[in-house]
Structure 1
């Protein structure tokens, strides 16, 4: 942006973003607390070990500088039927990178960068690393459009296992925003899972990040059989799947309120074919056992009780589904929380009441309507000790 005026923050910032950095953070105010002992080489920005810190005030000034350059460069790109000039390429790439730092959901900026990739003047692998950095921003991590841009880049970089005319599969969506049938190697999958993990640390319970992770897992499992010569060998990919399952168990144990992660973990298990040896190779313990261990350790977290519900191996419809067992099933786990009348145990007791009510409903022991739901809520808020059998009888009597 040779025509920049004023302090010239925009071209300097664009140059740092073009590295691209490993991570980006917007620093409050003018960033003076962080920049006091920093090198003056990159002032007013902080750039250490490819980690970029940008004071908010400087970012907004750079944004205002970049807007007119972006608008004029974009207009020339749209109007021209010829390959863009080097000046237009540089201006569009630099100004759009600054706009995306401040507004990671800037659709025009992302579309312009797509156009530069299509012109083969912006390397899609470089652009993928640029999105790595944007997704370390809190505002960037939660933007669905940025995750979609990333998948678009992956589809540009990696070839498909099937002809384009046959790539749409009814069982895998419309094929427009999917990674299914792409030939991705083990390191690419590891990189995508790592990007999601960072984004979920920055912005917890990040739906769009977990959705991206699911699409990656879907693509990974579709490549595992290795029946086609165009598919990567299954050995390294099998190891990636083992790592992902182990990593997810650990993530849930460290983020016990993150139900989005628990849903993804259950969906991941659901992707494994029922009769496939993948299930025995990749799962040492059942999801049900894992969920019960966590509920036992942290009974006040509703997310874990919901995880326990989803982990049950089948919908219990047999007459003895609510009979406590010596093996320590889910019903037996809930019993001690129901029988406790201590005030400190009230949150756990509330979740246990709702869990047994849900079990009763799926076992067809009770019918749920407005009146019965209010009854369950009343019981959940009291401290009266109950056994599982007494609770079920109370709910059944009320329904009748």
Structure 2
């Protein structure tokens, strides 16, 4: 480390971050409760089995030390017409890592590290592992700019199957931030899904993490060979698809309020062509039955009612249309909540009323004008037993 980092907390912290750790956590205060019985080797930091604990006070002191060092190193890199020296590279990498620990959305620090990758002085695979650690921080997991940085690194590491100019279409991912057509192997996809899972545990209902996961799933499915056979194509990537479908069902069952996860699961199913073997694989245990089971078990959670809405088959808007079996099962379930007059069933009943109103609106039996909306609210707040037919008739009086 250079002379500018020869003392203080910043160089010691930067060295630990350079490992890089598997996870990072900011410990409250000075961390004395955690450090009392810890080894003094890494004091005032806790480093066990490549898991790094940094007391908040020490982190902020290190941050203040790293700021002038970072600005100086960044300026030298920008002004020099010669290849950067090892001194400047080390200062820029070390100081930026400390800045990102405290502020994972520090754009200048991320841009500097991108420059070091482009200069071939910072290994992109090493930088990817560094973002693994940052994304275990609550403040890191929710930062869109950090997820974008990770996708940039993936594009550096993995080659694309087609020129970039040919896949920037609306259906091919998030513009220049897409992972579409990148050649990742099965383990690389598993690693990305695992990073997202950890980030979503740290910061629940994490939209940016699920968006990253969708771009990964999109890239995964784009690599699968097309097939008209009766069985899905074999291979490691297909096994990752199977794992992802099973993992998502389990995740939703364990995180029943995470609508971002539910939305991702629905989008994942939508990536499969309707008549392809992949679609058959995704629908082996249909989503509508899964949603009905979850609503039956946890009827007070609005996210599950939304899951049920999105999973039901489309019903043609004709007077003689016969509801699909799945919708009939949902109606039977809803009827059980509407018929209950118990006060403790009121939250579930409220969701059931809105669900019937939604079904009636999508089938064009009612129009959701002001009078109808007020009636829905009134009915949802009462505990008078009703059947689905009686509720629809009542709504039609106010919203036809």
**What is the CA-CA distance between 1:183 and the residue it aligns to?**
0.5
**Equivalent pair of 2:312/2:327 in contact (CA under 8 Å):** no
Q: Counterparts of 1:306-317 in structure 2 under 5 Å?
A: 306-317=306-317
**What is the CA-CA distance between 1:266 and the residue it aligns to?**
0.2
What's the RMSD between the two structures over aligned residues? Answer: 1.9
Change (3 A) 1:192 1:222: same
Q: Per-residue displacement from partner, 1:240-291 (whole Å, max 9, x unpaired)?
A: 0000000000000000000000000000000011111112234321110100
Q: Separation in 2 of the partners of 1:357 and 1:9?
A: 60
Change (3 A) 1:174 1:193: closer
Unaligned runs of 5+ in 1: 228-232
Q: Separation in 2 of the partners of 1:214 and 1:299?
A: 28
**Equivalent pair of 1:339/1:385 in contact (CA under 8 Å):** yes
Q: Which residue of 1 aligns with 2:195?
A: 195
Q: Which residue of 2 aligns with 1:259?
A: 259
Change (3 A) 1:112 1:257: same
Q: Separation in 1 of the partners of 2:259 and 2:322?
A: 25
Moved more, 213-222 or 161-170: 161-170
Q: Which residue of 2 aligns with 1:345?
A: 345
Q: Per-residue displacement from partner, 1:117-160 (whole Å, max 9, x unpaired)?
A: 00000000000000000000000000000000000000000000
Moved more, 214-223 or 164-173: 164-173
Q: Which residue of 1 aligns with 2:335?
A: 335
**Equivalent pair of 1:69/1:91 in contact (CA under 8 Å):** yes
Q: Which residue of 1 aligns with 2:249?
A: 249
**What is the CA-CA distance between 1:89 and the residue it aligns to?**
0.3
**What is the CA-CA distance between 1:292 and the residue it aligns to?**
0.4
**Equivalent pair of 1:321/1:363 in contact (CA under 8 Å):** no
Change (3 A) 1:331 1:52: same
Q: Separation in 2 of the partners of 1:276 and 1:66?
A: 54
**Equivalent pair of 2:14/2:97 in contact (CA under 8 Å):** yes
Q: Separation in 2 of the partners of 1:308 and 1:23?
A: 36
**Equivalent pair of 2:366/2:395 in contact (CA under 8 Å):** yes
Q: Separation in 2 of the partners of 1:273 and 1:286?
A: 16
Q: Separation in 2 of the partners of 1:329 and 1:320?
A: 19
Alignment of 1:57 with 2:68, yes or no, is: no
Three-state SS of the structure 2 residue aligned to 1:184 is: coil
Q: Which residue of 2 aligns with 1:230?
A: none
Change (3 A) 1:364 1:226: closer
Q: Which residue of 2 aligns with 1:103?
A: 103
Three-state SS of the structure 1 residue aligned to 2:172 is: strand
**What is the CA-CA distance between 1:44 and the residue it aligns to?**
0.3
Alignment of 1:159 with 2:139, yes or no, is: no
**Equivalent pair of 1:322/1:359 in contact (CA under 8 Å):** no
- Number of aligned positions between the proteins: 395
Q: Which residue of 1 aligns with 2:230?
A: none
Q: Separation in 2 of the partners of 1:326 and 1:315?
A: 11
**Equivalent pair of 1:63/1:98 in contact (CA under 8 Å):** yes
Unaligned runs of 5+ in 2: 228-232
Alignment of 1:362 with 2:351, yes or no, is: no
**TM-score, normalised on structure 1?**
0.95
Q: Counterparts of 1:1-400 in structure 2 under 5 Å?
A: 1-4=1-4, 8-173=8-173, 175-225=175-225, 235-319=235-319, 329-400=329-400
Change (3 A) 1:99 1:293: same
Three-state SS of the structure 2 residue aligned to 1:171 is: coil
Change (3 A) 1:38 1:283: same
Moved more, 324-333 or 305-314: 324-333
Q: Per-residue displacement from partner, 1:195-220 (whole Å, max 9, x unpaired)?
A: 00000000000000000000000000
**Equivalent pair of 2:357/2:392 in contact (CA under 8 Å):** yes
Q: Separation in 1 of the partners of 2:216 and 2:348?
A: 36
Change (3 A) 1:139 1:321: farther
Three-state SS of the structure 1 residue aligned to 2:25 is: strand
